[in-house]
Amino acid sequence: MSTEQQRQLDAILRQGGLETGGDVAKLRAAFDELMARVPVASDVRQNPVQLGGVDAIEVTVEGNAAESVILYFHGGVYVIGTAVASVALVSDLVRRTGGKAITLDYRLGPEHPYPAAIEDARSAYEGLLAQGVAPEQIALAGESAGGGLAVAVLLALREAGTPLPSCGFLMSPYADLTLAGQTLAEKESLDPVLSPDGLRARVPDYVGAADAADPHISPIFGDLAGLPPLLIQVGSHEILLSDALRLAERAARSDVAVTLEVTPGVPHVFQGFAALLDEAGEALDRASDFVTTHQRSRPPSSRS
């Protein structure tokens, strides 16, 4: 454990924190400015593409040769965030898996409330299938809201009878927009990134006139039976810790192969700080092993 690294990262995040409860336009501008400071390695290639009619960025690393694909959904409480802002984290995962990723610019609230994001995610996945990419060569991944969106689109694909991808990798999933998790209060003082009030302010922007307990909005309430293997990673200092815990329990009760990793002392989406935190790189190493194992081993007979 890197206690000093954790302490330094916590101080950095508290000093430059982003409060999600403010004006949407100002919040987006502040987030974009913050993420523009995150360096992307010189051997990372970013190619703007459209997938199923949805704008996205194809992320590759020079020298990678695998045909596997990660379809990635960024975070941002369904209101902020962009594909380009996710490239640094996505490229760290791509570098380890040897394949490529496509990070999606799904539509955001309040301009485009539910079900716009899930429609875009589903269209992009179906776009990959239409290109001839085999489902067992696709993994879904996402952080925060993107992690919740990954599970929600898996439910939608299963219900539609669409062949499912090989696996799902979820970082700090935001899986309960009813905000019923106990750790929203229990971990509030420890979380340097998110606050309960900030989440509450943004829920109506995405949920709109729908029910926040709808499993396609809050997959914590869904029947997860039949979903592919899931890896859930979360930090013990997150107000969303209980989302991850309950989602993992829900998956296990539905006979889904699920691996839950709780890393002590780290913040929300700690994997994005691999340059500063040993635990972040180690978590991405394990995630890479998970993704490549399932993309390699899933038999064609499981395409249903």
Q: What is the pLDDT of residues 54-65, one digit of tens each?
A: 999 999 999 998
pLDDT bracket for residue 249 (50, 70, 90): very high
Residue 136 has pLDDT above 90, yes or no: yes
Q: List the catalytic residues.
A: 144, 238
Residue 199 has pLDDT above 50, yes or no: yes
pLDDT for 298 equals 54
Helix locations, the chain, DSSP H: 3-15, 24-36, 87-97, 116-130, 145-160, 183-186, 196-207, 241-253, 278-297
pLDDT digits (tens, 9 = 90+) for 147-170: 999 999 999 999 999 999 999 999
Give pTM, 2 decimals: 0.94
Domain ranges of the chain: 3-296
pLDDT digits (tens, 9 = 90+) for 67-126: 899 999 999 999 999 999 999 999 999 999 999 999 999 999 999 999 999 999 999 999
How far is Cα 282 from Cα 284, in angstroms, rounded to an integer? 5
Starting at the edge strand found earlier in the chain, the sheet holding 44-51 runs 44-51, 54-61, 100-104, 69-73, 138-143, 167-171, 230-235, 258-263
pLDDT digits (tens, 9 = 90+) for 222-240: 999 999 999 999 999 999 9
How far is Cα 234 from Cα 241, in angstroms, rounded to an integer? 6
Q: Which CATH superfamily is domain 3-296 in?
A: Alpha/Beta hydrolase fold, catalytic domain (3.40.50.1820)
Please state, rounded to an integer, the average pLDDT across all residues of the chain.
93
What angle (nearest 5°) sits at the alpha carbon of residue 81, between those of residues 211 and 125? 70
